[in-house]
Amino acid sequence: VMSASSTKRVAVLEGDGIGPEIMSVTLTVLEEVSRYYDFLLKFEKAPFGGAAIDEVGDPFPPETQKLCLESDSVLLACIGGYKWDNLPRKQRPETGLLGLRKTLQLFANLRPAKVFDRLMDASSLKPEVLKGVDLVVVRELTGDVYFGEPKGISFQNSKRIGYNNMIYSEDEVERIGRVAFEVARLRNRRLCSVDKSNVLDVSQLWREVIVSLSKEYPDVELSHMYVDNAAMQLIRNPRQFDTIVTGNLFGDILSDEASMLVGSLGMLPSASLGNPNSPGVFEPVHGSAPDIAGQDKANPLACILSAAMMLKYQFQLNEASIAMERAVHRVLEKGYRTSDIMSSGKTLVGCKEMGEKVLEQLQLIQ
Ligand code: ATP
Ligand code: MG
C-alpha cells in the first residue's frame, strides 16, 4: 500500500488518432485533482501503438515496456487507424496492446456502466429502467474457452469438428474473485457472480470457489446468477446490479451488453488489473476515431473517467475519484456536449473546452 505522500509514477501512452488530444485534457484534470486532494503524480510519456511503429518500428518498444513495468500505473488513450491496417498482424498497433496485457499480467477487466441522467436519450432503453444504473462488470481475461487446449479443427469420420475446452483452475477463479470482492468493497458492497453451473462442471467449480472466498469478505453481499438470466436482467432491471464477476466468455458478452445501457462510446471508461500493487492499465473503451483526429472534436470524458478509475482502483483515492466523476456529471447537467453526444438545446463544445468545463466544475465542488 502506497503512502499518501509518495509520488505515484504514471506511464502515459497517448497512442494514435484522438489519443494526444483527449490525454492532454485528462492530464490537466488529474493535475488539478491531485492539488485538491494532496497527492503527487508524475506523468511519463512513451510511444505506443501506431505512433511507436512510425517512430521506432515496434508498437510496444522495449523502452515503453520498461517504463510501464517500473510505473505504479498506466494510463492509455487509444491506438490504431487506417494508416496501419494493412501491416502484417504482428506489426499492427493492436499487437502492442496484447503485449502490454501480457507484460503486466493483466487478468481482470473492469467495464463500468454508469447512466448519466442527462444522456439517457442516447440509450435505446426507457428512462425508468435506466435511471440510477451504476454497475461494473469484472471479466476474467486469461482463462476460459479462449485459452483451453487443444484448439483447432480436426476430423471425425471425415467430418470436421471445431473444438475448444472451457477450463478454469481453482487458482484462476480465486484470483479474479479476490479482485471482484475488492472492487465491490470500493463500491456498494454487492457482488453477483455469473456462471452456468446448472450445466457446466467448470462453472460448478467457479461457484464453489467464489462461495468459499466470500467467507473472507463478510461485508460484501454475494449472489449468483446463471448467465442467460443475467443477460436478460441487464436489460429488464439493470439497477439491481452493483458489481458483476464472471469468466472470459460470459464477460465478453455481458460487458458489451452493459455498455449499451450507457448509449455513448465517448463516455465509457475501462480498467485492466493484474496483481495487487502491480500497475493496471486504464483506458477508454472507444478507439482512436481517426475520422475526427486533430480537429478538437473528440469527447475526452471517457478518458477522464478512466483516469478516475485509476485513482479509485489503483491508488485507493476514492474521494478524488468521486470528485472527478461528479465534475463530469455537473458538466453534462450544465448542458455542455461534444459533437458525439450533442442533442438539441445543448451547448456544443470542443475537446479542449470540455476539459475547461470539467476543471471549472472541479473547482466548484471544493
Ligand atoms: P477500434 O477498432 O479501435 O475499437 P472502432 O473503429 O470500432 O475502434 P472508434 O475508433 O471508437 O471505433 O470510432 C467509432 C466512431 O465513434 C467514429 O466515428 C468516431 O469518430 C466515434 N468516436 C469514438 N470515440 C469518440 C470520442 N471519444 N469522441 C467522439 N467521437 C468518438
Ligand atoms: Mg477501428
Distance CA 204, CA 40 (A): 45
Measured in angstroms, how far is the CA atom of residue 334 from the centroid of ligand 1?
A: 25
What is the predicted pLDDT for the residue at 5?
A: 58
**9: exposed, middle or buried (Cβ count in 10 Å: 0-12, 13-18, 19+):** middle
Q: Which residues surround ligand 1 with Cβ inside 6 Å?
A: 18, 80, 265-266, 286-289, 291-292, 298-299, 302, 338, 340
Please write the tens of the pLDDT for every residue from 268-283: 999 999 998 899 999 9
DSSP-based three-state secondary structure for 54? helix
Q: Distance (Å, rounded) from C-alpha 336 to C-alpha 278? A: 37
> What is the Cα–Cα distance from 263 to 99, expressed in whole angstroms?
30
Contacts of 59 (CB under 8 A, 6+ apart): 48, 49, 50, 52, 53, 79, 91, 92, 93, 94, 95, 96, 97, 99
Report which residue type is found at 82.
Answer: Y
First to last CA, the chain: 26
Which atom of ligand 1 is closest in space to residue 303's alpha carbon?
Answer: 27
CA angle 46, 48, 49 (to 5 degrees): 165
Q: Average pLDDT, whole number, for the chain?
A: 94
Worst-scoring range by mean pLDDT, 138-142, 177-181, 259-263?
259-263
List CB contacts of 144: < 8 A, sequence separation 6 or more: 166, 167, 168, 247, 248, 249
Cα 170 to ligand 1 centroid, rounded to whole Å: 38
At 262, the pLDDT band (50, 70, 90 cuts) reads confident
Catalytic residue among 117, 121, 228, 291: 228
242 flagged as catalytic: no
pLDDT greater than 70 at residue 4: no
Residue 297 a catalytic site member:
no
Residues 6+ apart with CB under 8 A from 180: 108, 138, 191, 193, 243, 245
pLDDT in tens, 16-41: 999 999 999 999 999 999 999 999 99
85 as an active site residue: the answer is: no
pTM of the model: 0.92
Residue 348 has pLDDT above 90, yes or no: yes
200-240 pLDDT, tens digit per residue, is: 999 999 999 999 999 999 999 999 999 999 999 999 999 99
Are 76 and 15 spatial neighbours (Cβ–Cβ below 8 Å)?
yes
Tell me what pLDDT residue 99 has: 93
Q: Tell me if residue 16 is catalytic.
A: no
Of 114, 196, 297, 357, which is the active-site residue? 196
pLDDT of residue 1: 46
Write out the three cell numbers for 101: 496485457
* Phi-psi map region of 185: left, alpha, beta (phi>0 left; psi -120 to 50 alpha): alpha
